[in-house]
Amino acid sequence: MDKVIIFDTTLRDGEQAAGANLNVREKLRIAKQLDELGVDVIEAGFPVSSPSDFESVCLISKEIRRPVICALSHANAHAIDRAWEAIREAAHPRIHVFMSASDVHLLYQLNKSREETLEISREMVSRAKNYVDDVEFSPMDASRAEPAYLYNVLESVIDAGATTVNIPDTVGYATPYEFGELVQGILANVPNIHKVVVSVHCHNDLGLAVANSLEAIRAGARQVECTINGIGERAGNASLEEIVMAVKTRQDFFNLITNVDTTQIYKTSRLVSELSGFAVQSNKAIVGANAFRHQSGIHQDGLIKKVTTYEIMDPKSVGILANTLVLSKLSGKHAFKERLAELGYSLDEESLRRSFQSFKELADKKKEITDRDIESLVTEELRTVTETYHLDHVEISCGNHSLPTASVRLIGPDGQSLADAALGTGPVDAVYKAINRIVGIRNKLTEFTIKSVTGGIDAIGEVLIRVESDDETYTGRGASTDIIVASAKAYMNALNRFLAKKAIEEEKT
């Protein structure tokens, strides 16, 4: 069977989602997990766009050796040179050049003629080819471009050295039938198309990104660009897990395979959700909380008799384990470490020590400890950024006949103990005001979400927040059986992200 190349752009297009803000260390963690997942290409970033993106692409190029490491570039000399600088230490480097192809982009955004943009595209692919053998070209907004002109552009960039040509549905405009026809037209009308891999990159503005991608590979495309959980610009990108599992589950229809280790899908989804701050909706295909839950009595009856009556995939095939009770307050460190290994986590000794301590504290509060509880403890440890301020103590007084009051104690940069108190409209507001009095960062809270990790009155509560400061958004997450403490942890996580980024910027200046 033919293979579909899985090109993951979570770290590039996925991070363009409004509100996403990954630091260099988090991008490397995701890249390592994408390597474990088995994707063929990792688009690590857009080096010319910012010093942070350049640094993360450099680091990923050095650390991740199996897959192709790709850097995105405008069709201009400086951007291409910068992309090469970022990926020059990669074992398998690729430069991805893009240039608009639709008349609406050429007229209103670039103010250039078709002839001008075609020539620029050819020249810049040639420039990238001087650096690397593996060059990808994308005619942006291809689904709204005039087909004959698109054919000419593709023929020209292939002659200039492109090895992959990617057909983007940049604004999510196409329908599956149209997009399949577009790919077939390219395969039939571009004379040298046999020299390259044909790729597709679909956006989800009409909810058709996965459908368009699948129709394109059915029509002959052999690379698909996608993101974990479908995150990305506006309504997002095609979802990697949905495409991969569609190809695997319906191998009888597609007659295609991928290199993806599907048992790593759920873990990768959780990691990206955790670090990006975008929760996975319960009814999300493949990785949503309800994806393998059955409530209907008819469905339950069928499952008891034969699983395949209502379940087309085994949950274990995507890495979803049963939510079992495995540990208690009497469990030792060795048993805890073994269970972490079963769940796919490997911690250094110091992180293991802190996680085990948190586990014992939780076990004193909860009668039943589930795998989801353990995962929450570990991700709480792994999400810790370089702390300028550490939350040491929080105390609340509130009620329907009292003013919400919070007392907070933080450990400052030099180890000093800093305490303050504040009144608020509610307990969380009071905590945040008290923290603000100590830290002194002007910011605006733009999102506040609480969810429980498991069921029950003693469940761990996870809090997600987003704050804006200096026109940038910072995400924070925190977890605790006390939602006020979880809220304080999330706020400190966001503020420490802000302070860490500012410290890096100051070092560079």
Residue 345 confidence (pLDDT) above 60: yes
Q: Which amino acid is at 249?
A: T
- Two structure tokens written together for 11: 């770290």
Q: Does the pLDDT value for residue 324 go beyond 60?
A: no
Per-residue burial over 232-260, b = 16 or more CB atoms within 10 Å of its CB, e = otherwise: bbeebbbbbbbbbbbbbeeeeebebebeb
C-alpha 253/C-alpha 249 separation (Å) is 9
The structure's pTM equals 0.84
3-state secondary structure 191-237: CCHHHCEEEEEEECCCCCHHHHHHHHHHHCCCEEEEEHHHCCCCCCE
The pLDDT score that the predictor gives to residue 11 is: 97
Residue the block writes with tokens 């050095």: 62
CA atoms within a 13 Å half-sphere pointing along the CA-CB vector of 113: 3
> Which residues share a beta bridge with 391?
410
How far apart CA 490 and CA 484 sit, in angstroms, is 10
Give the whole-angstrom CA distance, residue 239 versus residue 288.
Answer: 12
- Residue 308 pLDDT more than 80? no
- Alpha carbon distances (Å) from 450 to 215, 348, 366, 374: 38, 30, 19, 18
The pair of three-digit structure tokens given for residue 121, joined into one six-digit string:
């595209």
Work out the percent of the chain whose per-residue pLDDT is above 90: 67
Range picked from 136-140, 355-359, 380-384 for highest mean pLDDT: 136-140
DSSP string computed for 132-158? -S-EEEEEETGGGS-HHHHHHHHHHHH
Q: Is 266 helix (H, G, I), strand (E, B) or coil?
A: helix
Are 57 and 24 within 8 A, CB to CB?
A: no
CB-count burial class (<10 Å; 0-12, 13-18, 19+) for 482:
middle
Give the tokens for residue 279: 């929760």
Whether the per-residue pLDDT at 322 is higher than 70: the answer is no
User: How high does pLDDT run on average in the chain?
Assistant: 91
Task: Assess contact for 75 and 122: CB atoms under 8 A.
Answer: no
Q: Which two tokens stand for residue 138?
A: 């994308």
* pLDDT of 325: 45
Q: 3-state DSSP helix/strand/coil percent for the chain, to nearest 5?
A: 45, 20, 30
Cα 367 from Cα 362, distance rounded (Å): 9
Q: Are 417 and 437 in contact (CB under 8 A)?
A: no
Give the mean model confidence (pLDDT) for residues 206-232: 98
Q: What is the pLDDT of residues 363-377, one digit of tens each?
A: 887 767 777 788 777
pLDDT category at 349 given cuts 50, 70, 90 is confident
Mean pLDDT of 7-32: 92
| 430-443: pLDDT as tens digits | 999 999 999 999 99
Q: Are 100 and 141 in contact (CB under 8 A)?
A: yes
| The token pair that represents 182 in the structure block | 């577009």
- Helices (H) and strands (E) counted in the chain, each on its own, are 17, 18
**pLDDT tens-place string over residues 168-197:** 999 999 999 999 999 999 999 999 999 999
* Sheet with 472-480, side-by-side order of all strands: 444-452, 461-469, 472-480
CA 223 from chain center: how many Å? 19
Q: With 0-12 CB in 10 A as exposed, 13-18 as middle and 19+ as buried, what is 346?
A: exposed
pLDDT, one tens digit per residue, over 27-56 is 999 999 999 999 999 999 999 999 999 999
Strand partners for 7 = 41, 225
Supply angle C-alpha 453, 454, 457, rounded to 5: 110
Does pLDDT of 1 surpass 60?
yes
Beta bridge partners of 136: 96, 164
Separation CA 65–CA 69 (nearest Å): 8
Residues 268, 389: Cα–Cα separation, whole Å = 29
pLDDT in tens, 391-405: 999 999 999 888 999
